[in-house]
Amino acid sequence: MAMESLRQFVVALSAAAAVGFVSIIFVLRWVLHYKEGLAWDGGLAEFNWHPVLIVTGFIFLQGIAIIVYRLPWTWQCSKLLMKFIHAGLNLVAFIFAVIAMVAVFDFHNAAKIPNMYSLHSWLGLMVVTLYCLQLVLGVGMYLIPVTPVSWRAAFMPLHVYSGLLLFSSAIAVALMGITEKLIFGLSNPKYKDSPPEAIFVNILGVLLVVFGALILWIATQTSWKRPTDQTLHTLHSNGGGEDNTKVGPALSQLSDGDDAEASGDVRRRNNKLDD
C-alpha cells in the first residue's frame, strides 16, 4: 500500500474505532445512568442487556470482523489465521446477539408483553437468522478444506454483498429499536419535549450511522484490499529474485477464491515495492 493510501487507511480506521468506542460508552451510560442499570431479573434491567449487547457485539464486533482482512500489518499473517479471526469475531458477535434476544424475550414473557409484534422485532429476528446462515455458509465454504476452490470463488461476491447488507441492516434495526424505546420509555417529559436522555440517545443513533458509514467505506475501497497471495508472490519474486517454481499455477487459481493458504515464503512481502 502506498504511503498516502496507508495514511488515509489509518485515519479511517482510527475514526471508526473511536466512534465505535464512544457508541459503547453512550449505550452503557444510557442504561446505567438514565435507565434501570443491568441485571438478569426479568425486569427492565434485564431488557437493558438488549441494547448493550447489540451495540457492543452485533454492531461493533461485527464491524471489526468485517475489516480485519484490511489491516495491512496482518498481511504477512497466513490467510488461514485471518479467516479464524474473521470467523471467530463474527461468531462472538452472533453469540452476543443471541443473548440480547434472550434478554428481551425473557423480559417480555415475565411482563406479559406480546412477542414479535413490531417491525423492529420482525426485521431484527430476520437479520439474526440470516447472520447465522452467513456464518454457517462462511465456515462451510472457506474453512472446510474439501470445498472446491471454484465454489469458493463463485460464492465470494455473494458472501461480501450479504455480509455488508446484514451489517447495514443490523444498524437500521438498532435505530428502530432505539426510537421505540425512547417513545415507550419517556413519559414525563415526553420524547417530543426533548429531555436530555432523548438528545443523548439520538446522538447514539447518529454515532451508529457514522460507525456504519466508516466500516462500509473501509470495506469497499479496492486499494485497501488484502493482496491476493498471487500478488504477494509476484512482488516477492520480482523484488527478491526468488524462483517462481516454488508456487505453481495451482496457487494463482487459489487466489481467485481469495483463499490461498500458501507457503510462508510467498506471503513475506517486499515492502520497498509496496511504497
Which of residues 18, 160, 209, 213 is near ligand HEM by CB under 6 A?
A: 160
The residue count for binding ligand HEM (CB under 6 A) is: 49
Residue 73 CB, nearest distance to ligand HEM (Å)?
15
Q: Residue 214, CB half-sphere, CA atoms under 13 Å: how many?
A: 23
Instruction: Please identify, using beta-carbon distances, which residue of 66 and 247 lies nearer to ligand HEM.
Output: 66
106 vs 53: CA distance, rounded Å: 15
Which of residues 19, 20, 35, 50 is near ligand HEM by CB under 6 A?
A: 50
User: Does the protein bind ligand HEM through residue 258 (CB under 6 A)?
Assistant: yes
Q: Which residues pair with 187 in a beta bridge?
A: 190
Cα–Cα distances (Å) from 178 to 40, 48, 206, in that order, read: 20, 11, 11
Instruction: Please identify, using beta-carbon distances, which residue of 14 and 220 lies nearer to ligand HEM.
Output: 220
Binding to ligand HEM (CB under 6 A): which residues in 85-124? 86-87, 90, 101, 104-105, 108, 115-116, 118, 120-121, 124
Residue with cell 414479535: 116
65 vs 163: CA distance, rounded Å: 10
CB 127 within 8 A of CB 169: yes
Residue 36 CB, nearest distance to ligand HEM (Å)?
12
3-state secondary structure 191-217: HHHCCHHHHHHHHHHHHHHHHHHHHHH
What is the contact surface with ligand HEM in residues (CB under 6 A)?
50-51, 54, 58, 66, 69-70, 83, 86-87, 90, 101, 104-105, 108, 115-116, 118, 120-121, 124-125, 127-128, 131, 134-135, 138-139, 142-143, 159-160, 163-164, 166, 170, 173-174, 177-178, 180-181, 184, 219, 225-226, 258-259
